[in-house]
Chain A
Amino acid sequence: MSRTLDQLRVNESGVVATLRGTGTIQQRLMEMGVSDGATVEVLRFAPLGDPMEIRVRGFHLSLRKSEAALVEIQS
């Protein structure tokens, strides 16, 4: 079972393997650069634990853990 983006720790980075499922959320994530082969780094979680902020393709993106759970990370 490979890990998903929401399971990465702060300052940990990984490479996107694939996105689970198909739909608008997946398409939006991919357009924003969270697509296979992209390096993602977890920067922080919001004070209440959700959402999270990541760096991808040189910019910062905020997304909820539930959305990050769709992003599989290469082991």
Chain B
Amino acid sequence: MKSIALVGNPNVGKTAVFNALTGLNQSTGNYPGVTIDRKHGKMQLEGSTVHIVDLPGVYSLAAHAPDEMIAVDVLLDQQRGEDEVYGLLVVVDASNLERNFYFVSQLLEFGKPLVIALNMMDIATRREIQIDVTLMSQLLQVPVVPICAHKAVGISELKSALGQLAREELQPSPVRATFPPEQEQALDELQELLLNRKGMLGRNIPRLEAFRLLVDEGGYVEKRILKKVGRGFLDELNRLRQQARTMGGNLAAQEARVRYGWVRGLLELAVQFPAERKRTRSERLDNYLTHRVYGTLFFVGMMAVLFQCIFTWSVPVMELIEETIGGLGEMFGAGMREGALRSLVVDGIFAGVGSVLIFLPQILILSFFIAVLEDFGYMARAAFLMDKLLGWCGLSGQSFLPMLSSFACAIPGILATRTIRDRRDRFTTILVAPLMSCSARLPVYTILIAAFVPSERYLGGILGLQGLTLFMMYGLGVVVAVPVAWLLRKTLFRGEKPPFILEIPSYKYPQARIVLKKVYREGREFIVRAGTLILAVTIVVWALAYFPRSADIGYEFEVQRLSLNQTIQNPDLLEAQLNQLDFEESAAYLRESYLGLAGRWVEPVFAPLGWDWRIATATIASFPAREIIVATLGTLFHLGQNVDEDSTSLIETLQQATHPDGTPLFTFAVALSVMVFFALCCQCGATLATMKRETRQWRWPIITFVYMTVLAYIAAFLMYNAAVMVGWG
């Protein structure tokens, strides 16, 4: 099978073109060995189906990491598992021609037919950039189609050009940027040397790859080839590099000079720029949005609105979901007989999964916000504003988006690190991302704060102790992340600070389709997780808390029940006594269950934190996914509770929980200790699995798990003892 490759710089609207061409006929996958999405689409052209592969946006073919080599390898038809490419569709930003055509000059050298889509023509027109499309097409000997992808303008013309490409009616253009003869000669010689080593290399090295080998000193191609032919080859290579140099500077400087010279020549003929440049809308907007004062205020305000949305405005929706699921559980339970199955459905599945699903609104709000800001172009500005701040702990501005995403969930946060080019920076960000308080921690905070933090208000009611505690919990992860990141950059990821060379794209109207697709993907992933991993753990926890259901206990309580029935005449008193007995029975079952046994066994470990066996049990059960704690606490305290009583909320149940001696189980100090533990502990199997997938090594999730758990234990210990000392015990 053959495909058309969709290529272009980042921020040129490549996704919009891909969407306009393929509609809903898209699929995403992964390339083996690297973390780059492999995006495929099908489009209908004059009755036949044409495949398109959407390559990651890059500025140049010079690759310094395996991820950046994917595009080159696909275009050279040497990427395993990828279709042969018979032509390229190059998306070019018509309002940013010079740098875009630098890349085009590299693409021409693949010797494959090209079609150029000049996107964002509306912006170019507004900026009075006049492009003679016909002349440009003649000069390049390539079809050039002006389009405006997000308005679907020019798509049918583009399709007819692609039809020519698909029918293989187009010839590769012979147009090239001209390099000095010395460089071409060195390249010839290099190819010959590589041909002699074909045995070691196991394949022919195409001329374009040899070009990158010659020019990119210390680049990915050099590493890949030296690994095969031995480091001794570097001497030969350096000799040829010396020979190829005719201008000042190295070959990279020579390439830039030659290519930008070629681009200038082309644009001088085919494009007329306005004599006097006017400030663009985007620039006028940036006078405020990245302004020292207004920009900072806007940034802080934006974050405030975001968190307000997540934590306040989502509440009604969350309550609605909670009620619906609770109602459903009761409906199902009503039609079932008392016993293990009913308990599984009501206490296990509905209580467990329901307590997780209520976070869907928050996840959706946050991912909507991020998707809008990203498509608008604000995220590059946020990185610009935050770079210095993040630099203090050894990170860069590009870590901002992953960190922000991690407040919803560490998984999209970790996936967002793919845009960080430097490996050390990326891995540091991945390892500290789970410290950000994700929305799965929120239920723990919400419930414990509502139950145990006094609702005192200070400063005339503006500042509440409850709100302050919540803010402190969110701050804790950030505050801890700073020294951890700093330490990681000094030890495991020691090395020079990577560059911060980032395009600041023009602002544009966010596109509903792109935004909604991202929100949908995130929401779906969350629901799938709730429906699979969390459901499974909930069932296991329920089973461990329900069984072995010793017959002795049942017998013992049955005997007591009978004797009560015989001795007490007053029906009200009898019912009260029977209820009390039911409660004691559930508690006895729970204490003797597998979970109860395990919990009491580990109780001493958690005693210094102020926890009893039930808290310890619930915590251990929630290591696969922390939001399970709510379900587990519900299950644990519900099973050990008088079920006939008006179904008290979990908050009240926890407030009423006591130690065996009758003193309250939870104090402010215990609640704080539990919250701090949850703030810092890595209780999320899915995050660890994602880390493994993204770093391709088990050691990073293992290191993360260990350091976070140790940190959580120590911090919870300190918190508890400090709180007891100031009298909150």
Whether both chains belong to one complex is answered with: yes
Docked Cα-Cα span, A30 to B251, in Å, equals 11
Interface residues on B, range: 35 or more
Contacts of A37 in B (CB 8 A): 257, 260
Total residue contacts A-B, CB cutoff 8 A: 128
* Cβ contact within 8 Å between B216 and A27: yes
Q: Given A22-B217, A31-B59, A62 and B504 touching (CB < 8 A)? A: yes
Contact indicator A59/B96 (Cβ below 8 Å): yes
- Residue of B216, B252, B256, B290 touching A53 (CB-CB under 8 A): B290
Q: Which among B98, B217, B218, B387 is the interface contact of A64 at CB below 8 angstroms?
A: B387
Task: Tell me how many residues of A have a C-beta within 8 Å of chain B.
Answer: 37
Annotate A41-66 by CB proximity to B: 1 below 8 A, 0 otherwise. 00110111111010001111111101
**A46 CB contacts on chain B under 8 angstroms:** 290, 384-385, 387-388
- Chain A residues with CB under 8 Å of B723's CB are none
User: Which of A27, A58, A59 touches B62 (beta carbons < 8 Å)?
Assistant: A27
CB A14 to nearest CB in B, in angstroms, measures: 16
Does the CB pair B388–A22 fall under 8 Å?
Answer: no
Known contacts A32-B59, A47-B296; A25/B99 CB under 8 A: no
- Flag if B260 contacts A38 (CB, 8 Å): yes
Which residues of the other chain, A, contact B62 by a CB distance below 8 angstroms?
27, 31
B380–A62 CB distance below 8 A: yes
Question: Given A22-B250, A35-B257: A63 and B500 within 8 A (CB)?
Answer: yes
Q: How many Å from the CB of A58 to the closest CB on chain B?
A: 6
Any B CB within 8 A of the CB of A26: yes
Shortest CB distance B421–A (Å): 9
Contacts of B218 in A (CB 8 A): 23-24
A35 near B500 with CB under 8 A, answer no
Kindly list chain A residues whose C-beta atoms are within 8 Å of the C-beta of B659: none
Question: Which A residues are in CB contact (< 8 Å) with B461?
Answer: none
Return chain A residues, CB-CB under 8 Å to B216: 27
**Interface assignment of A74: CB less than 8 Å from any CB of chain B:** no
Q: Which residues from B are CB-within-8-Å of A57?
A: 98-99, 260
Most interface-central of B64, B260, B295, B296 (chain A CB within 10 A): B260
Contact B501 A62 (CB under 8 A): yes
Please report the C-alpha to C-alpha distance between residue A23 and residue B496 in the assembled complex, in whole angstroms: 13
Given the interface contacts A30-B256, A36-B257, does A51 sit within 8 Å of B250 by beta carbon? Answer: no
Q: Once the chains are docked, how many angstroms separate the CA of A11 from the CA of B332?
A: 70
Bound CA span A42–B383, Å: 18
Contact with B387, one of A24, A29, A50 (Cβ below 8 angstroms): A50
Could you list which residues of chain B lie within 8 angstroms of chain A, going by C-beta atoms?
59-60, 62, 64, 95-99, 102, 216-219, 248-250, 252-253, 255-257, 260, 283, 286, 290-293, 295-296, 380, 383-385, 387-389, 391, 397, 497, 499-506
The 8 closest A-B pairs by CB, nearest first: A30-B256, A48-B388, A60-B504, A35-B256, A57-B98, A27-B252, A31-B60, A22-B250
